[in-house]
Structure 1
Amino acid sequence: MKQKFHYATISEAIEQLKSQGFTLELNLEKDHFKADGKEYPAAEFEIVDLYRYEGPSDPADEATVYALTSKSGLKGVLVTGYGVTADDEQAEETIKHLHYKYQQRQQ
Structure 2
Amino acid sequence: MSIVYHYATVIKAIDELREKGYTEDFNIQENWLEYHSGKFSHEEFEITHIYFYEGDSNPDDEATVYGIESASGVKGVLVTGNDAFPEKVSVKIVDKLLVHKKDK
Deviation at 1:52, TM superposition (A): 0.9
SS in 1 for 2:89: helix
1:18 match: secondary structure: helix
Aligned residue in 2 for 1:67: 67
Distance in structure 2 (CA, Å) of the matches to 1:53 and 1:97: 19
Runs of 4 or more above 3 Å deviation: none
RMSD: 2.6
Q: 5+ unaligned residues in a row in structure 2: which ranges?
A: none
Aligned identity (percent) is 37
Relative to structure 1, the CA distance from residue 92 to residue 79 in structure 2 (aligned partners, 3 Å threshold; closer, same or farther) is farther
TM-score, with structure 2 as normaliser: 0.79
Structure 1 unpaired stretches of 5+: none
- Count of aligned residue pairs for this structure pair: 103
Normalised by the size of structure 1, how large is the TM-score? 0.78
1:4-83 matches, within 5 Å, as: 6=6, 8-82=8-82
SS across alignment from 1:68: strand
How far apart are 1:40 and its partner, in Å? 2.3
Output the CA distance in 2 between the equivalents of 1:5 and 1:69. 19
